[in-house]
Structures are given as C-alpha cells and as structure tokens.
Structure 1
Amino acid sequence: MPAGKYKLLVVDSSSANRTLIGECLAQLDDVDVLLAADGGEAIDLIAGAHPDLILVDMNLRDMDGINLVRKIRNRELLGSDELTLWMPVIFLSSVMDDDIVAQGIIAGGDDFLHKPVSEVILLAKIRAMLRIVGMQRDIHAAHRRLKQISTLDGLTCVPNRRYFDDTLNIEWKRCLRTETPLSLILIDVDFFKQFNDGYGHQAGDQCLKAVASALNESLFRVEDSVARYGGEEFAAILPGTDAAGAVAVAERMLASTRELRIPHEKGIEGLISCSFGVASTHPAPERNAQELLQAADSSLYAAKHAGRNMVLLNPTWRT
C-alpha cells in the first residue's frame, strides 16, 4: 500500500452496500479501501491493518455496530502506545432514530449517516474526518520527535541519563520476569579534566563525541544500549548477558576507544583511554537495579585506582 495513503475500513454485512460504498470512496486519490462483512472480520482487519477511519453499519450479521465500536474503543484504551491514535467512526443506518444515534455517539462513534447515503455528503464527511486524522498524524509524529529529543544527549547523540535510568528499571523487571542475566558497564574517560585543561573545551567535546561513537559501535545487539551517564562517564546496559559476555563487550569497547588514537599528553601512553567497571547478576525480587549500579560503580572505582585503561568485574556481587 503506497506510503502516506489513508486506510478506510467499510464494515457492512451487505455485499452490495460494501461494493457501492467502496466504489464511491475509491474516487479519493489519497485513500485505500478495506472491506469487512461482519464485526469479527473488522476486528481482525483493525488489528492487522490499523485503518485511519471506519464506516460501520448499525446492523451486522454477528453483532450490532454499537457493540463493535465499544470493542474498538476498548482496544484503544488498552493500547501500549503512550499516544494512541484515535480512529474516527461513522455509523451507517437505514433507520433514523434519535435514541440509536445517541447510543452510537456515546459508545464512541463520531458521526452518523442515513442510508441510502448521498455520495456528495459521504465524500464531504470523509474529507472532513481525514483532515482531523492528518492533524492527528502530525501531532503524533511531533510527540515521537520530542520524546526522542528528551532522551538524547545533545552533545554525543547517544541516549542521556534519563534514558539510562528508565531503561535500567525496565530491563531489570524484564530480566526478573524471564529469569535471564542483566549486566552493566560503567565507563570513565581517563584523565579527562587534564585533557580539557590542556586542549580546551572544544577539543574535550570532540573527544567525548568520538568516545561515545566508539562505545556505541562496539555493541552488536539491538537490545544493548550505551548512554551518557554524566560528564565524561558513560554506561552500557546489556540485558540477557552474563558476566563473561559483559567483560568481552567491555574489552571490545576498551580496544575501540584506544584505536581512536586521540593524543593526550597526560594520558596513558600519550593517548585517550577509558576505564571500565562491570557488574552482572540475575535479578531477584529481594534486590533492585540500584544495587547492580553500585556494584558496577565499585568496580569502576577499582579500575581507576588500579591504573586505569582496564576492565574490572566486581567479584563480590552475587550472580
């Protein structure tokens, strides 16, 4: 289906009515029409195709249109998206009854058309509804962009501390549920203050960008992530990875940052390097994610005091 087109779903138990309405709607260049003969088929199409607008006959062979719309609105309420897209619903009925119209609107319908439907009025109503749908799409896209910006570090273009905190809690609960390991790596750029003092803050910013990119490119799985933890510190979350796997990732990161070969007169062997603290566990109900973070922080502290430019795994953290 061409990108950008609106998907319209017509639900009517009469094959003749479905064909007639479908042919009418086909006059609109920016729509594709889906047809359903009953409520069950409509629900399947909604789940798979996610139509932008629905036309529903009041009397279907397996349920009435009002009950179908109630099911649709309930599905929207249970949606996992933070900003669920609303699907406009237009009822079609050969009976003009104020009480039925009111019940339909209360159930979640947005408009009502009397059958036989005037082609002119039908097309006008559809165009009006699609203008609203188009604005809703724009709002939804803007919301996604704002959410992405709010969780992205402006300097390094990797996720920020807010993202890290949220993701760590989410992955802790997920690994607890699936009984799989969770590992953390905390990373600190060695002697970064001296680098800033000696080469200037602009050079320091460029250094952090390069390090962030090297760390990010060292992750080979989509479920792994690296974030800027604060200042010259970064953190990596590795769900489903045990201690040995996390150490291997940290060693790869260490090599990648050294391969940048960024000169640092007061650094180790005249180059920028990083220290890595690793901790890993199987989440348990009596523990929490902050304990794992503290364990990784302890191993990072030990790595820095042992000479820097190395990876250390916290040996005291219970796995």
Structure 2
Amino acid sequence: MVNSIRPTVLVVESSNSNREVICECIEQLNDVEVLSAQSGVQALQIYEAKHPCLVLMEIALHDMDGLALTKEIRRRENSSDQFRPWTAVIFLSSLQDEEVLAKGILSGGDDFLFKPVSEVVLLAKVRAMLRIVAMQQAIYRQHLQLREASILDGLTAIPNRRHFDETLSTEWKRCARAGSPISAILADVDFFKQFNDIYGHQAGDACLKAVANALNESLFRVEDMAARYGGEEFVIVLPGTDLEGAFAVAERMRTAIRELNIPHERGLAGLISCSFGVACMTPSPDNAAKDLIQEADNGLYSAKRSGRNRVCIPPA
C-alpha cells in the first residue's frame, strides 16, 4: 500500500503531556497529518491501518520497548505478500547512552532525538526524514509501474503469458499440497483473422480488449485469473475448481462474449464468438501443469471442430 500524498507522522509516547507537545510542534508543518498513540499495541494498530511515513517513538514504552516495536514493524514490512513502503523511525530517549543508540539502529531505527526535544531540532529532523521518505515513495511508485508492465499484456491490460505461467506453477504446487483439483480454460476468438481482414487491425485490437474484459468480468473469485495466451487466444486458471465448476465458468464466459454484440459478417449469426476448451486435474507425481494446458487445448480443438461458439472438454 502506498502512503497518501499527504504524509502521515505517528507519535508514540507514553506521557500525555509530552505527546501533546510533540504533536503540536509537528502540526506546524504544512500538509502533514499527525497521529498519536500511547502504547505499543495501539501504535501497531495505527501502523496497520494508516501505514505512516514516519514514526517518532519513545524507546521505553509501558507495554513494550521501542526496540521490540520497531523490530515488529520491520518484520511486517518484510513479510508482507505485497511490497510495502519503508517507514522511517526516530527514537525519543531521555538517556544519552551510546549502547542504547546502537541497539536502536540495529533494531531498525533510523535516527535518535534526546529528550527534552528542541522544537527547532525536532522540526528539522522531521523535515529531513520526510524528504527521504518522499524519495523512497517515488522509487516505490516506479517499482509498481515496472512490475505492472512486466505482468500485464500491453493491449488488453490483463495478465500476460509469462505471468500466467508463473501463476499456474504456483497454484499447481498449492493444489498438490492440498490434494485439491485445478482447472484450466482455453478460449479462442472464432474467425478472428477474417475479422481483422474485414474491419482492420484497430477494430481487431478493440475487439480483443472487449473480449479480455468480458472474460475477466466473468470471474468472481480473487484466486481465479484470466490471461492473454497469445494472439486471439486466452487462458484461465481456476484453482480448487472441479470440472463441473470450470465448465460453468466457461459457459458464462461464452455467453458474455456473445452479449458484447460485436458485429462480424463472417462470424456465427453475424457476431463475434469464442470457443472454449476445459480441463481439470488433481496434481500428482503422474501429471504436470503442462498436461492440464494440453488437455484444455484438446478440448478447444474439439469445440472448433464441433462448430465453434461452444464449450468442450477433451475427448475421452
């Protein structure tokens, strides 16, 4: 999650009076949201909800020390499934002890302020740290853009073949551990070459975008994924779904494509349609993910031979 454009600073201080003074000082800065907590538990709750840019933390809290709290923040940053932006941590301490300072830095802290805190020094430290945070967030946004470009198909904006292959491999292993089925659907736009010949490549691109969106909108679970497999062919992975369920999803997709009502003078009944092949396997030492895709492809071949605009499973 990316912090909002308006930076958020969390002040964690057990003393009500000290906390109020620090918050009032930081509030002098323009466009800074200031939050406060009086305990480590409360600070973690705010951290999870708000993901502050900067935490000013008393090193000796009543319920846990600041070192343990900082380690927990760093642990959550590093263990998150999604890349999480770095949160700067400045310790507040009344002890000017070099050993404590060293332990604070090793625990994941970034700087120290010794109490009583000078207003001038506090504001200077906060400004400097927020500048660093702003640069880090710019790098984070670039990271997201690059990651998105690497996993999405440039035309249809759904996952590309490479990302699908990675996802299928991951889901195959997960289903193997759980002993659960996994299904795949291959979809192909019927008579697409003729569509391009008649209406042109720009119309063809628009058609593929509409088809991709219809396929994607037909998926109701977050674990299911539709991807562009290449050309006018699409592939869908359905972890934990049996053959009957996958067939129902494919039929819903087939109907959604027809309901786009995209004219095609050489298509079936004058409209764009898709053919679908469906396959299901329970991963075991005797099969592999590529076998699942091959079976779905066999089903797609059957759908094409049987007249198109239909859903087929591979022949027995």
TM range (shorter): 0.7 to 0.9
1:157 and 2:190 are equivalent in the alignment? no
Residues 1:54 and 1:232: Cα distance change in structure 2 (over 3 Å): same
1:143 deviates by: 1.9
Contact 1:277 1:313 in 2 (8 A): yes
Q: Distance in 1 between matches of 2:261 and 2:7?
A: 52
Q: Distance in 2 between matches of 1:72 and 1:260?
A: 48
Contact 1:218 1:253 in 2 (8 A): yes
SS at match of 1:112: strand
Q: Distance in 2 between matches of 1:285 and 1:27?
A: 65
Aligned to 1:187: 187
Residues 1:119 and 1:159: Cα distance change in structure 2 (over 3 Å): same
Contact 2:302 2:315 in 1 (8 A): no
Aligned to 2:310: 310
Amino acid at match of 2:13: D
1:102 and 2:102 are equivalent in the alignment? yes
Moved more, 37-46 or 115-124: 37-46
Percent of matched pairs sharing the same residue = 59
Contact 1:7 1:51 in 2 (8 A): yes
Residues 1:3 and 1:195: Cα distance change in structure 2 (over 3 Å): closer
SS at match of 2:241: coil
Q: Structure 2-normalised TM-score?
A: 0.86
1:4-83 equivalences in 2 (<5 Å)? 4-81=5-82, 83=83
Contact 1:176 1:285 in 2 (8 A): no
1:91-240 equivalences in 2 (<5 Å)? 91-177=91-177, 179-240=179-240
Amino acid at match of 1:312: C
Aligned to 1:290: 290
1:273 and 2:263 are equivalent in the alignment? no
Amino acid at match of 2:6: K
Q: Distance in 2 between matches of 1:106 and 1:122?
A: 22
Q: Distance in 2 between matches of 1:43 and 1:203?
A: 52
Q: Distance in 1 between matches of 2:218 and 2:107?
A: 52
Output one character per residue of 1:120-163: Cα deviation in whole Å (capped at 9) or x when no partner.
11011111111222222222223222222222222223322123
Residues 1:273 and 1:122: Cα distance change in structure 2 (over 3 Å): same
Contact 2:185 2:235 in 1 (8 A): yes
1:254 and 2:257 are equivalent in the alignment? no
Output one character per residue of 1:196-246: Cα deviation in whole Å (capped at 9) or x when no partner.
345443343333233323333433444433221101111122334322222
Q: Distance in 2 between matches of 1:115 and 1:190?
A: 73
Moved more, 47-56 or 292-301: 47-56
Q: Distance in 2 between matches of 1:263 and 1:134?
A: 50
1:40 deviates by: 3.8
SS at match of 2:116: coil
Q: Distance in 2 between matches of 1:60 and 1:217?
A: 49
Gaps of 5+ in 1: none
Q: Distance in 1 between matches of 2:293 and 2:152?
A: 21
Moved more, 225-234 or 177-186: 177-186
Moved more, 256-265 or 221-230: 256-265
Give the root-mean-square deviation of aligned CA atoms: 2.8
Residues 1:251 and 1:41: Cα distance change in structure 2 (over 3 Å): closer
SS at match of 2:29: coil
Q: Distance in 2 between matches of 1:210 and 1:179?
A: 36
Amino acid at match of 1:84: R
Gaps of 5+ in 2: none
Q: How many residues align?
A: 314
Q: Distance in 2 between matches of 1:210 and 1:61?
A: 58
Amino acid at match of 2:275: S
SS at match of 1:296: helix
1:63 deviates by: 4.0
